[in-house]
Amino acid sequence: MLKQKLLILYAANSSLDSPIGAWSLYDGTGREKHMAGDADEPPYSSVLAAMRDGWRVIQLPQLRAPAAGAEHATAFLEYEFVLEKMVEADR
């Protein structure tokens, strides 16, 4: 059966070819287990590079105007791209 792997890439800006500053990988097959702090280098240099390796983009970050009075507030990473691969796996 097919199972889903999710790769979440946090890009420098809204462009899919901008550099990656953070990343996460969640493997629905259970073959790989990833956790905080387990890698020093991102798996791809950009979202576009991941696409060229067969990852499908399933979420683009929305571009939102900042709230009035909080234009300089920072919190979560803004440019979160979610990608998937469906891979054959045992039940």
Partner 1 sequence: MTAARRLTSLQMAGFVADGALRFDGIVPRALGDAALAELAGGGPPSPFGADPASPAAGWSGRPLAGLFRDWPALTAVLELPAVAAVIESLLGPDPIYDHHYAHVIAARNEWSQPWHADAILDPRRAAFDIQLCFFFHDTPRDMGGTMYLPGSHLRRVNEFAIARYQNFTAQEAMACPAGSLLVCHHGIWHCGQPNRTDRSRTMFKLRLNPRVAQRLVWDTADLRDLRIGKVLSRDHGWYGHEVRLEIANRIRLWRDLTGDARYDVDFWLTRIENDPLAGTSKPG
Residues in contact with partner 1 by CB under 8 A are 8, 10-13, 18-25, 34-42, 72-79
Residue 32 beta carbon to partner 1: minimum distance, rounded to whole angstroms = 12
The residue (of 72 and 91) whose beta carbon lies closer to partner 1 is 72
Buried b (16+ CB within 10 A) or exposed e, 20-42: beebebebbeeeeeeeeeeeeeb
Residue 8 beta carbon to partner 1: minimum distance, rounded to whole angstroms = 7
Residue 13 beta carbon to partner 1: minimum distance, rounded to whole angstroms = 5
**What is the largest distance, in Å, between two alpha-carbon atoms of the chain?**
52
